[in-house]
Structure 1
Amino acid sequence: MFFQRLEDLRNDHDKTQQEIADILHCHREVYRRYEKGEREIPTWAVIKLADYYGVSTDYILGRTDIPDCR
């Protein structure tokens, strides 16, 4: 489920996979695999994306439907 959250957040912020890959300092193909669930996303990347999007890590991981990080 959280793979879809990654794609939804990226699209909601009008970002490309390359732009998010640049934020994570990885290749676009690596990020694409995170987004498609073909590769496990590291904890540090989930934290970095949560900070970037202003949501909780629980929201990204699908543990809650409430994006607020408070």
Structure 2
Amino acid sequence: MTDIHIKIKNLREDNNLKQHQVAGYLGISQQAYSYYELDKREIPSRHIAKLSQIYGVSADYLLGLKPIQAETYNLNATFIQGVKVKDVLISLQGLNQNNKKEAMKFLSYLHSTQ
């Protein structure tokens, strides 16, 4: 995994996220996540998939299989007045599995009513 530790650190910093925030999204401790960025621990594939989702890049990019990253999302963009996109993601990741499913159902419903 070529330089994945550098890529995930740069992506995290580019999105103005703290290690503990990304760690929370992955469901691990901040210390465990810091080992990924320090290249002291191999990143499991399930975490590579989640990291690619949060940063809007492909897993191939993170793994060094594609030289150009996919379009990245500005997590600091305003979602609604006073709320950033990253705040919404962090709130959603803090839900239990059942509530995450319910949130997705509700979002689908809202989309269908537009």
What TM-score bracket applies, with the shorter chain setting the length? over 0.9
The aligned counterpart of 2:15 is 13
1:9 alignment partner AA: L
Superposed CA RMSD in Å reads 1.1
Unmatched 5+ stretches in structure 1: none
The structure richer in strand per residue is 2
Runs of 4+ in 1 over 4 A off after TM superposition: none
Task: Flag structure 2 segments of 5+ consecutive residues without an equivalent.
Answer: 72-114
Percent identity over the alignment is: 35
Give the Cα–Cα distance (whole angstroms) in 2 for the partners of residues 3 and 48 of structure 1: 15
Partners of 1:5 and 1:62 within 8 A in 2: no
Cα displacement (A) at 1:65: 2.1
Query: Size of the alignment, in residue pairs?
Result: 69
Q: Greater RCO between the two (CA within 8 Å, min separation 6)?
A: 1
Shift of 1:18: 0.5
Larger Rg: 2
Query: Of 41, 50, 53, which residue of structure 1 is paired with 2:52?
Result: 50
TM-score by length of 2: 0.58
